[in-house]
Amino acid sequence: MTGVVLQARLSSSRLPNKAVLPLCGRPVLEHAMRALRGVAVDRYVLATDSESVAQLEPLAEACGFEVLVGDPEDVLARYAEAVRRYRLATVVRATGDNPLVSAELAGISLRAHVNRAAEYTGLLGPPLGTCVEVLDAAALLRSDREAADRYDREHVAPYLYRHPERFRVFRPELGRRYRMPDARVTLDTHQDYERLVELYRRLYRGRPIEVKTLLGELFDEANNNTAGSRKA
C-alpha cells in the first residue's frame, strides 16, 4: 500500500502559522493537499501535532486526508507511526509549506522509485518546493530505530540518503524541461510568502498550478531579469 504523508504544524519559529496563511482565498496547506490528491496512491495522511490538530483537522478532512497526531519535534517518529498505523509499504513524503508541490513530479518520483527498487528516491533539478520524496517503509522504520541525530529526526529522510552504503538511494537529475534548481517556491519566511502571493495572483485559476505553468513563469522571469541586467 502506498500513501502520501504530508507533515504540517503551526509552530514554525521563522513564520508562525504559515500552513494557514491565505493564498487566493485558500490556506497554504489546502493548496498542498489539493495538489497531492492528484497523486495516485491508496491513503492520504496529514501528520501533525497536538497543538495544531484542532485547526488543521477540518482542512484535512475537507480535502480527503486522514489525520495522525504525533510528536511535535520528532517528525521521523510521526512517519514511522503512519507506516505502522496505515500498513504502508511506500511513503510519499510531502511538507505543508510547499503549496506548489507537483502531482506530476510526484508521479515521476513514484515510477522511478518502483522501477529502480529504491529505498529512497528524490528528484534533482526542479524548483525547491515542487517535489516530494519517496521512501520505502521498511527503510524508514529502520531509520527510526537507528537515527539519533536531531537533524535526521526532524527532516525524516537525511538518514537514508546520507547512508548510501546502507540504503538503495536514487537521486536522478531530470531533463531540461523541468530543470531550474536555483528557483525557490517553498514557504519559510515572510519574503517567501510575498513571493508566493504574487505567483498565485498571476497563475492561480481555482485549481492546482501545473508545474509546466509554474516553470514557464519562472523561466520568463529569469529571462527578463537577465535582459534587464544586460541593459543596465
CATH assignment of 2-231, among 1.10.1060.10, 3.90.550.10, 3.30.43.10, 3.40.50.2000: 3.90.550.10
Q: What is the 3-state secondary structure (H, E, C) of 172-219?
A: CECCCCCCCCCCECCCCCHHHHHHHHHHHHHHCCCCCCCHHHHHHHHH
Q: In whole angstroms, what is the distance from residue 156 CA to residue 11 CA?
A: 18
State residue 107's pLDDT score. 98
Q: Phi, psi at residue 82, to the nearest 5°?
A: -60, -40
The identity of residue 169, as a single letter, is V
Q: Could you please report the per-residue DSSP string of 94-105?
A: EETT-TT--HHH
Domain ranges of the chain: 2-231
State the DSSP string of 66-127.
Answer: EEEEE-SS-HHHHHHHHHHHHT-SEEEEEETT-TT--HHHHHHHHHHHHHHT-SEEE-BSSP
Do 94 and 4 contact (CB within 8 A), yes or no? yes
The answer to whether the beta carbons of residues 31 and 61 sit under 8 Å apart is no
Query: Is 4:43 a contact under the CB 8 Å cutoff?
Result: yes
- What integer pLDDT is reported at residue 226 of this predicted model? 52
**Per-residue confidence (pLDDT) for residue 225, from 0 to 100:** 64
Q: Pick from 8, 6, 35: which is nearest to 19 by CA?
A: 8
Q: What is the DSSP letter of 128?
A: B
Looking up cell 503549496, which residue turns up?
A: 99
134 contacts 91 by C-beta, under 8 angstroms:
yes
Beta bridge partners of 7: 47, 95
Rg (CA), the chain: 17
**pLDDT confidence of residue 231:** 52
Helices (H) and strands (E) in the chain, counts: 9, 9
Q: Which amino acid is at 23?
A: L
Flag residues of the chain having pLDDT under 70: 225-232
